[in-house]
Amino acid sequence: MPVIQGAAAPKGVIRLIMAAIQNPSVTTLPSVFPMMCILFLLGCYAVLHSKQYWPICPMGCTGIHIMLPILLCLVSVSLLLVFEKRGIVRAEWLFKPLAAAAFIWAGLAWGGLDSDFGRWVVLGLVLCMAGDVLLIPKGQGPAFLGGMLAFLLGHLAYAVAFVQLAVAYQALAAAVVGMALVTYLVLRWLWPFLNAQFKVAVGAYILVISAMVCLSVAVYFAGASWLIPLGAIAFAVSDLAVARNRFVAPGFDNRVWGLPLYFGSQLVIAASVATV
């Protein structure tokens, strides 16, 4: 594993970044492409709504300024995957927090502090960033449990955000029935790989995820933006990559689709604050 030390560290990091850009892993490009499409659409959305949804910029910022956190997230996730494929796992300590900070920045840029919904979303984004950092160490130790707790609280914060909006209760009931089936199938797949300690934790985690997804569907059918269920469902699906990587079959293939989907979902949820 390459190690960069001493005064040569900045130059070494720059050389590694340039090498990764010039010779990226072909296996990372297909996974990054869907995220690029999502971010492009979000960027267009930001440009169209820039004057209304940039409350923290004091000097009349344009849409391109709202796109900056999106671009930072895209670059960070892309480099994270490239470096991980090349065996430079320590790069995760730089690029993963950067990508997470970018989706918090995006949530603030879109007006996350201007409504109760937005403030709960921003809290969820911050908790997810904490989970991202805690999940950097490998294995199933205390840091992993702490990361699970942070993400569980993040899902709860999103769920509380959603109930700040109108809820279609018939749609909620239908979503609960559908998610009950999905939850059963996921637990049936995952259960044999869990020890007693994680059976309780994972069961609680999946219950909270399911509640968040159901509420996202219910508020959509009550008139909320499609960004809310899109982000919530994508977030839930990305958790399957984490579960498979930690409990079932560890490997880069889980990361190569799970990370772009996860960070894309956070940006979609962050963008939803601009619609309230």
pLDDT digits (tens, 9 = 90+) for 126-167: 999 999 999 888 766 788 888 889 999 999 999 999 999 999
* Encoded tokens for 10: 């900045």
Q: For residue 10, is it within any domain?
A: no
Neighbours of 37 (CB within 10 A): 11
d(CA 30, CA 197) in angstroms, rounded, equals 36
Q: For residue 37, is it within any domain?
A: yes
* pLDDT at residue 56 tops 50: no
The pTM for the full model equals 0.80
Q: What is the mean pLDDT of residues 237-261?
A: 89
d(CA 189, CA 183) in angstroms, rounded, equals 10
* pLDDT at residue 49 tops 60: no
Neighbours of 191 (CB within 10 A): 13
Q: For residue 232, is it within any domain?
A: yes
The pair phi, psi for residue 58, each rounded to 5°, is -85, -5
- Max distance between CA atoms of the chain, in angstroms, equals 62
Beta carbons within 8 Å of 103's beta carbon, 6+ residues apart = 69, 73, 125, 128, 129, 263, 266, 267, 270
Give the count of alpha carbons within 13 A of 146, CB side only.
Answer: 12
d(CA 27, CA 48) in angstroms, rounded, equals 34
Among 65-69, 80-84, 95-99, 260-264, name the one with the lowest average pLDDT. 65-69
DSSP code string of 174-195? HHHHHHHHHHHHHHHHHGGG--
Q: For residue 23, is it within any domain?
A: no
* pLDDT of amino acid 89: 78
Write out the residue range of the structural domain in which residue 112 sits: 28-275
> Residue 80 in contact with residue 91, Cβ under 8 Å?
yes
d(CA 221, CA 202) in angstroms, rounded, equals 29
Q: For residue 64, is it within any domain?
A: yes
Beta carbons within 8 Å of 57's beta carbon, 6+ residues apart = 65, 109
Residue with tokens 């989706």: 103
Q: For residue 179, is it within any domain?
A: yes
Q: For residue 227, is it within any domain?
A: yes
Q: For residue 4, is it within any domain?
A: no
* pLDDT at residue 19 tops 60: no
For helices 252-272 and 116-134, what crossing angle results, to 10°? 160
* pLDDT of amino acid 5: 42
Domain count for the chain, please give it.
Answer: 1
